[in-house]
Amino acid sequence: MKNNFTMYAEKVNGAIHVNLSGRLDVSRAVEILRFLHLYARGKCPIVVEASNLSPDNSTSFDVLQKGLQRLSDLGHPIRHSTLQIEGDRIRKPNSIANW
């Protein structure tokens, strides 16, 4: 299990790809959402890959998932995995949410 949190972002073909991995707590989830909100305001599509996250608890996972959904509901072009918890790991099903 990874203890270190990493967030890597790069712009590819006009979209920002963000890869999240490691231990996720509530404060990190909030910081991720702040970062994404800044870039989403530019209407640049954002693709979030979060299948390598390990939540400290279900609250941190809920904060991230609901925050991503809220940004999407506000019209920000965010595409993210439909995340699910399996034990202490987050699993990404095959389906991807559309923007």
Residue 14 lies in a domain: yes
Q: Domain of 64: which CATH number? A: 3.30.750.24
Number of domains comprising the chain = 1
Do residues 47 and 55 touch, judged by C-beta distance below 8 A? no
Do residues 49 and 17 touch, judged by C-beta distance below 8 A? yes
Residue 95, pLDDT score:
37
94 has pLDDT over 70? no
Residue 97 lies in a domain: no
pLDDT digits (tens, 9 = 90+) for 38-93: 877 777 888 888 878 887 778 888 898 889 888 888 888 888 664 544 444 444 44
Put simply, whether the predicted model's pTM sits higher than 0.95 gets the answer no
pLDDT: which is higher, 5 or 40: 5
Residues sharing a CB contact under 8 Å with residue 60, sequence separation 6 or more, in sequence order: 24, 25, 26, 28, 29
User: What range defines the domain where residue 31 resides?
Assistant: 6-91
